[in-house]
């Protein structure tokens, strides 16, 4: 059987780079804590759309980049993103057919898990965040997911990323 | 993660990854940089003249102060020679620019555009024109991460300039306050006192301003009073920072001491 060759890898790489850039963008004070988790969202999308291509390994590498970029403990984001990638890969068939609202809720759930895990690590290393707005990215990412999803799907179809 | 947190064996790995990440960070900060440069080149002649005049006056003032300073320095050296105590050494400094990117929320860290290539080392003190800002915690080939003194994991030895009373300044996780710890209720400290680095711990050079005391309160029954300090460094305004090499000729020794402190 002929297996379709992987193509347009640059689109995926570019999307991750853009997500990292958005994460690093300098922001006004009031927006900082509400900034959505771009990297997580883009990763979830690719894990769901191309589960054979994007998985735990990529998530792990991406996590390391994010760690160094944000000055976090080396491996903190790597582990968090890998766990999210694992769950998404496992359930990609289910998640794909979810309506957008349900997908958004799932993103919210993922991010609450992710933030909870971050809170745990940071609590252990002695730098716990001191404000409830630590959880805010879960809400903003949830609200932003439908737009991101539709855009990413458009891009994927346009460049025939498979 | 544990290895990174406790031992720091992974610094080289972090340095390698930071070379990949630095172009991204640079790209992000580029538009802001550009807009600043454009606005600089578009200021009116009048504004320039005004600024020029202001700077001239400032220079005159600073120069006159510097004259007295050199006299004092000479006198200090003589007195030290009389006392046969060690002579203060000159420090080497290097100007670095901030790379404006968002890091982890609820941490006080910044990225600067100087790294291993310029000889930046782990634990190096960073100051701005008004006071101590922080110390370098990760060094990459082209950039390094600085932990500010206001981060909640940071503390540094300080003393009160007026009477030499020693204390420890601990960050509170906000960029506008520091807390002084272990000052007893009857300690001689007043609002407005200048806090300077004491040079103990051999990480920060002695005598740089850290902040001014802004509030003192004492809860009856507690052993120590709560002293709040307003940092003198302008964390949200400085574009350029200074990297300091304290005591240039025994840097190696300093490094060793710094490592001991780290562990």
Domain boundaries, chain A: 44-158
Per the document, the length of chain B is: 263
Q: Give the residue carrying structure tokens 């932003």.
A: A144
pLDDT band at A2 (very low <50, low <70, confident <90, very high): very low
pLDDT band at B85 (very low <50, low <70, confident <90, very high): low
Q: What is the pLDDT of residues B112-158, one digit of tens each?
A: 988 888 889 888 999 888 889 999 988 888 889 899 998 888 889 99
Chain-chain contact of B101 with A76 (C-beta, under 8 angstroms): no
According to the model, what pLDDT value does residue B217 have?
86
Chain-chain contact of A127 with B4 (C-beta, under 8 angstroms): no
Residue, of B213 and B83, whose pLDDT is higher: B213
Evaluate whether ipTM surpasses 0.85.
no
Whether the CB-CB separation of A70 and B138 falls below 8 Å is answered with no
Whether the CB-CB separation of B163 and B188 falls below 8 Å is answered with yes
Whether A147 has a pLDDT exceeding 50, the answer reads yes
- Return the residue of B nearest to A34 by Cα: B105
Residue, of B31 and B53, whose pLDDT is higher: B53
Residue, of B28 and A79, whose pLDDT is higher: A79
Q: What is the pLDDT of residues B212-260, one digit of tens each?
A: 999 888 888 888 888 999 998 888 777 888 898 876 444 455 554 444 4
Residue, of A129 and B136, whose pLDDT is higher: B136
Pairing state between β B226-231 and B109-112: unpaired
Q: Which of B18, B28, B105 sits opposite A129 (nearest CB)?
A: B105
Q: What is the pLDDT of residues B166-206, one digit of tens each?
A: 899 998 888 788 998 888 888 888 888 999 998 888 888 88
- Return the residue of B nearest to A72 by Cα: B104
Q: Which of A64, A70, A121 sits opposite B103 (nearest CB)?
A: A70
Q: Which element (helix H / strand E) includes A156?
A: helix A136-158
> Rounded to an integer, what distance in angstroms lies between the CA atom of residue B155 and that of residue B182?
12
Residues of A in contact with B138 (CB under 8 A): 71
Q: To the nearest 10°, report the CA torsion of B74, B79, B84, B88.
A: -40
Q: Which of A25, A69, A76 sits opposite B21 (nearest CB)?
A: A69
Q: What is the pLDDT of residues A29-75, one digit of tens each?
A: 788 888 899 999 999 999 999 888 888 999 999 998 988 888 888 88
- Of B48-52, B85-89, B144-148, the one with minimum mean pLDDT is B85-89
Residues of B in contact with A23 (CB under 8 A): 102
Closest-CA distance, A46 to chain B, in angstroms, reads 21
The structure tokens listed for B25 are 């960070």
Whether the CB-CB separation of B198 and B157 falls below 8 Å is answered with yes
pLDDT band at B89 (very low <50, low <70, confident <90, very high): low
**In sequence order, which residues have a C-beta less than 8 Å from that of residue A23 and are 6 or more positions away?**
A35, A37, A38, A39, A66, A69, A70, B102
pLDDT band at A150 (very low <50, low <70, confident <90, very high): very high
According to the model, what pLDDT value does residue B261 have?
47
According to the model, what pLDDT value does residue A108 have?
94
**CA torsion sign, A145 to A146 to A150 to A156?**
positive
Whether B58 has a pLDDT exceeding 60, the answer reads yes
What's the whole-model pTM score? 0.77
User: What share of chain B in percent tops pLDDT 90?
Assistant: 14
The structure tokens listed for A139 are 């809400």
Whether A114 has a pLDDT exceeding 80, the answer reads yes
Whether the CB-CB separation of A156 and A49 falls below 8 Å is answered with yes
């Amino acid at each position: 059987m002929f297996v379709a060759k992987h193509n347009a890898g640059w689109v995926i790489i570019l999307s991750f780079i853009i997500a990292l850039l958005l994460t690093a963008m300098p922001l006004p004070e009031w927006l900082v804590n509400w900034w959505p988790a771009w990297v997580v969202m883009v990763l979830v999308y690719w894990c769901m759309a191309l589960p054979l291509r994007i998985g735990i390994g990529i998530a792990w590498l991406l996590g390391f980049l994010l760690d160094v970029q944000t000055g976090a403990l080396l491996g903190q984001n790597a582990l968090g993103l890998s766990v999210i990638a694992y769950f998404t890969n496992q359930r990609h068939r289910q998640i794909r057919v979810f309506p957008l609202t349900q997908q958004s809720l799932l993103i919210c759930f993922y991010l609450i898990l992710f933030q909870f895990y971050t809170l745990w690590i940071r609590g252990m290393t002695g730098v716990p965040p001191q404000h409830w707005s630590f959880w805010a990215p879960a809400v903003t990412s949830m609200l932003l997911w439908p737009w991101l999803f539709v855009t990413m799907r458009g891009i994927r179809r346009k460049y025939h990323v498979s | 993660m544990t290895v990174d947190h406790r031992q720091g064996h992974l610094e080289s790995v972090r340095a390698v990854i930071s070379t990949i990440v630095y172009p991204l960070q640079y790209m992000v900060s580029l538009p802001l940089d550009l807009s600043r440069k454009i606005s600089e080149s578009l200021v009116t002649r009048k504004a320039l003249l005004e600024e020029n005049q202001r700077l001239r006056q400032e220079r005159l003032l600073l120069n006159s102060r510097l004259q007295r300073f050199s006299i004092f320095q000479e006198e200090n050296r003589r007195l030290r020679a009389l006392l046969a105590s060690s002579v203060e050494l000159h420090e080497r400094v290097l100007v670095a620019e901030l790379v404006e990117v968002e890091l982890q929320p609820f941490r006080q860290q910044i990225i600067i555009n100087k790294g291993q290539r310029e000889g930046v080392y782990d634990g190096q003190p960073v100051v701005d024109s008004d006071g101590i800002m922080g110390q370098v915690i990760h060094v990459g080939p082209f950039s390094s991460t600085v932990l500010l003194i206001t981060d909640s994991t940071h503390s540094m030895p300080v003393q009160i300039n007026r009477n030499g009373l020693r204390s420890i300044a601990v960050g509170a996780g906000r960029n506008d306050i520091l807390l002084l710890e272990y000052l007893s209720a009857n300690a001689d400290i007043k609002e407005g006192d200048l806090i300077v680095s004491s040079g103990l711990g051999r990480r920060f050079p002695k005598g740089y301003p850290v902040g001014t005391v802004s509030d003192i309160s004492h809860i009856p029954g507690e052993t120590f009073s709560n002293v709040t300090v307003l940092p003198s460094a302008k964390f949200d305004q400085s574009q350029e920072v200074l990297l300091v090499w304290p005591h240039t000729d025994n840097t190696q020794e300093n490094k060793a001491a710094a490592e001991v402190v780290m562990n």
